[in-house]
Amino acid sequence: MRIQKGKLSLFILLVVLILTLVSTTPWVWNHITKGLDLVGGFEILYQAEEGQTVNTKILSDAASAIRSRVDMLGVSEPEITVEPPNRIRVQIAGIKDPKQARELIGKPAQLTFRDPTGKQILLKGSELKQNGAKVDYDQQGRPLVVLQLKDAKKFEQITRKYLGQPMPIYLDDNLLSAPTIKEAIPGGIATIDGQESVEEAQELVDLLNAGALPIKVKEVQSYAVDASLGSDSLRASFIAGIYALIMIFIFVIGYYRLPGFVAVMTLILYSYLLLLSFVLLQVTLTLPGIAAFILGIGMAVDANIIMNERIRDELRKGKSVRASVRSGSKRSFLTIFDANFTTIIAGAVMFYFGTAGVKGFAVTLIVGIIISFLTAVALSRLMIRLLVSSNLLKHPGWFGVREDEISDL
């Protein structure tokens, strides 16, 4: 039986595409946000002082204000988590001056409306009504921000005095917006236009409400992770992962022969796509995340092993290679699906009830399972069927099955 070159060429093309895609791994790795346990940093836990009205919305507004402060430090992707009923956890990777971060984050948010020079304070955030900022739309459907102030008469006097001039809005010393006063505004309701998107308008609303509702917080716990410790942890995890992959690849290829090579190709693609998902989903990679990453590789190779073992079982019964691949793939699917579905449920529970580190582990685990279905299940079957259709895999020995193992029935 002649080899079908078209099917074989398509298989080879898939292998070349996988290896070409994976060659961009260094770029992907450099664009992944690493947690403070990998690159070092600073974590601080704040708690709202007693005697204040605190709820999840107020905590979220305060977290938005804290994020704007952290952005002033020049660090990327801080992890700011609201922990009801009254706590906010801040994790900043790569911070070089924890003292500066503590001083900047810990003080209450001060929202101010200033004169055109930005020096004289005309209104304070406390003069906004509670949740007095919201997103609305103009007649053309463009987003704008609506403000409601407590003292309508005072606001009208200010807008009349500075008619035609900008009124800068600051959160602490950070300029949020500088809308121009187009007319005297009675009634205490003003609008700020010029927002390019709903997301931009909502971000300004969150900051305005956070400034209008400053809550006093106290530091409950803090600790710093030295950058060298993070680097050592990252290096050790990386080396352990490489060793694990090499051992898995050697075993799979040695035991399953050419289908083992297919499994290795899909595992390589799985690892790449999972790293790429960290970039696209803006996931912060931590040590628990790396643990979930390595566990996901084990589960992905397990899917390949289950399928190949089912195919080998069919070959031992005396079926043809084509029939064995078809039957073995079908028999293995439900087993693989059940195992991965229960793991997704466990990951969802960990994400819902877990802390930040546990949630990172859960997200990585769930995303890894989804990607493994695309690579270790769907792509593996496609590549093996291409090899079978090309008539290259026409002997049971390619699956590691000896002739004396095949039943005479």
What pLDDT was estimated at residue 335? 84
pLDDT of 182 reads 87
According to the model, what pLDDT value does residue 409 have? 43
CB atoms < 10 A from the CB of 235, how many? 11
What's residue 230's pLDDT?
60
Domains of the chain are 5-36+226-405 (1.20.1640.10), 40-108+216-225 (3.30.70.3400), 111-212 (3.30.1360.200)
Which tokens belong to 333?
A: 């699917």
Q: Which residues contact 162 (CB under 8 A, 6 or more apart)?
A: 115, 116, 122, 181
How far apart are the C-alpha atoms of 14 and 34, rounded to whole Å?
31
pTM of the model: 0.62
For each of the chain's 409 residues, which pLDDT tens digit applies?
566 677 888 888 999 999 999 999 999 988 887 777 777 777 888 888 888 878 888 888 778 777 766 665 555 567 788 888 889 888 877 666 666 666 656 555 577 889 998 889 898 877 888 678 888 888 888 888 888 888 888 988 998 899 999 999 887 777 878 888 888 888 888 888 877 888 888 877 776 765 554 577 788 887 776 655 566 766 777 788 788 788 888 888 888 888 888 889 998 999 899 899 888 887 777 777 777 787 788 788 888 888 888 888 888 888 888 888 888 888 888 888 888 888 889 888 888 887 666 777 788 888 888 898 888 888 888 888 888 888 776 777 777 777 777 775 4
CA 244 – CA 221 distance, rounded (Å): 37
pLDDT at 13: 92
Write the DSSP assignment of 291-348 as a string of letters. HHHHHHHHHHHHHHHHHHHHHHHHHHTT--HHHHHHHHHHHHHHHHHHHHHHHHHHHH
Cis peptide upstream of residue 85 (ω within 30 degrees of 0): yes
Q: Which residues contact 206 (CB under 8 A, 6 or more apart)?
A: 60, 61, 64
**Tokens 């906010």 belong to residue:** 88
